Chains A and B, each alone.
Chain A
Amino acid sequence: MMLRTEPFVVNIGPQHPSSHGLFRLRVTLDGEVVKDLELVLGYLHRGIEKLAEGRTYTQNITLTDRLDYLAQMTNNWAYVIAVEKLAGIKVPERAEYLRVIIGEMMRLSSHLCFIGFFLNELGAYFTPLFYMFRDREKIIDLFDMVCGQRLNYNYMRVGGVSHDIPEEFVPALKRLLDEMPRLIDEYEQLLSGNEILLARTKKVGILTKEKAINCSASGPVLRASGVKWDIRKVDPYSVYDRFDFEIPVGSVGDVYDRYWVRVQEMRQSVRILKQALEQLPKGETKAEVPFLLRPPVGDAYGRIEGPKGELGFYLVSDNSIAPYRWHVRPPALLNLTALRELAIGWKLADAIVIFGSLDTILGEVDR
């Protein structure tokens, strides 16, 4: 006997444990198989781009903290790089090193969060997450030492960083770096070879190289698809050309590769941090920049390799104290472009895992 079936629409979110914030997926299902998927965004839209047009260049650094709230200081960094490009400001060498140190710590912390939440989506509820948060806590403590904050750091300034690191920071970071490779080994031992993880992620949600490039994917998502493209290497900003590190690249472009690339990136971050601490010069940490900065008329696009991908700021100046236009190129939003095609044909539970593997953060998507 033939059963009459019809497609069924399910709303996942906006309040859902796997939605990484307020976010709705409108999924059309045939049984358990995803037939269509639509993104419904905007639940966290705060109009940051409009807000920024009414605040000075320095005040806007605070707003960048609220974009990707798991990697705040890389947002600060991308923004100040764009302003420095716009106004032609040179940053002291020590400040550049401090930025690299902070940026790589931020990458570690962001990837730890990714692994924790991603495993949550696979059904390993909270045990891996607590391992990750145990170690992320150590990084956050160091940030607390640097700028007295644990969430919205607001540490970078146009022309440098807000103040120098305290004396006890370097030895504390060295201790953490000695410990970190062992911790990453521990995660890999627990997770990377885990049979359930492999069964759920291998060959699931394959993003081909061509598709990844065409969809403007960036960061670990692009590299997992086999594209060796890391802005730290191909367009070195700050002092990244002075460090010796590798770019991990995936081979298949499936969910597992996106996980694996991030774990390997953590190892490379530790490598960069060790070199940065060795080379850390003495000197000024902030260039002389007027408090009310008036960049010359023009536009500039500044970008960095953030933990989620290429984070860019497009700024237009009309020579007043506030930017004329302030646009963010959010890696998390652009990585979502491919989600629909990745998820179609997979079971609903796999679609959640594919979504999780893109490391979406809604503060940045909605802005």
Chain B
Amino acid sequence: MTVALGVEAVARKVAETFPVTTITTDRDALIVPPESLLQVAQYLKDTPGFDFGYLTCLTAVDYTDYFEVVYHLTSLKHNHSLVLKTRCYDREKPTVPSVVSLWQGADLQEREAYDLMGIVFSGHPNLKRLFLWEGFPGYPLRRDYL
């Protein structure tokens, strides 16, 4: 059985390692600000005991006040999972660091989130629209797109 790690315990551990960042939790997810996302993701991937080497699912949700990018992480070694989220409040150009350098599996998923939700993943090697053509007006999966 894949065990969902207790987020409170993970949040404490991450907060110890990165004292400056504001780590919060929401239900069963760990929420980190976009500016420290890459560091925390790297920490979760490389720390023995966590070993989140497998990015299961990456997607974005538009909550109208903010965009949320959701990372479902799995460790094939320990068979446990964690949900990592980051929020960005800028509607014009929401920017989140790309995690392609850590997990290549994020490549097409980030392009999809950029294409349909308009999230800019800074540092992505090839951030082009995946399904729609360049020049398509707007981002269809946003709540204000009709």
Contact = CB atoms under 8 A, between A and B. Distances in A.
Interface of A: 39, 41-42, 45, 47, 49-50, 211, 213-217, 227, 229, 234-236, 298-299, 301, 303, 310, 312, 314, 316, 324-325, 327, 329, 333-334, 336-338, 366-367
Interface string B125-146: 0000111110000001100000
Given A42-B132, A42-B133, A235-B2, A301 B72 contact: yes
Contacts of A325: 59, 61-62, 141
B105 A214 contact: yes
A217 to B, nearest CB: 8
Nearest to B45: A214
Interface of B: 1-2, 27, 53-57, 59, 61-62, 70, 72, 76, 79, 83, 103-109, 112, 116, 129-133, 140-141
A360 to B, nearest CB: 12
Nearest to A324: B61
B53 A314 contact: no
B109 A334 contact: yes
Contacts of B62: 325
Nearest to B72: A301
Given A45-B131, A50-B140, A214-B53, A327 B59 contact: yes
B79 A215 contact: no
A47 B140 contact: yes
A57 B76 CA distance: 32
Contacts of A47: 140
B57 A329 contact: yes
A334 B108 contact: yes
Contact of A337 (B53, B107, B133, B140): B107
Contact of B104 (A214, A227, A234): A214
10 contacts: A39-B108, A50-B116, A50-B140, A214-B53, A216-B103, A216-B106, A299-B70, A325-B61, A333-B112, A336-B108
A316 B55 CA distance: 19
5 closest A-B pairs (Cβ-Cβ)?
A216-B105, A42-B131, A235-B2, A45-B131, A329-B57
Given A229-B76, A234-B1, A234-B79, 17 more contacts: A39-B108, A41-B131, A49-B116, A50-B116, A50-B141, A213-B54, A214-B105, A216-B105, A299-B61, A314-B70, A314-B72, A325-B59, A327-B59, A327-B61, A333-B112, A334-B108, A337-B104
A122 to B, nearest CB: 26
B2 A234 contact: yes
Contact of A215 (B59, B104, B116): B104
Nearest to B102: A214
Given A49-B116, A229-B76, A337-B104, A314 B57 contact: yes
A246 to B, nearest CB: 18
A235 B75 CA distance: 12
Contacts of B133: 42
Given A329-B56, A329-B57, A337-B108, A45 B132 contact: yes
A366 B103 CA distance: 22
Contacts of A310: 56
A333 B108 contact: yes
Nearest to B140: A50
Contacts of A50: 116, 140-141
A39 B83 CA distance: 29
Most buried by A among B54, B70, B107: B54
A338 B105 CA distance: 8
B9 to A, nearest CB: 20
B132 to A, nearest CB: 6
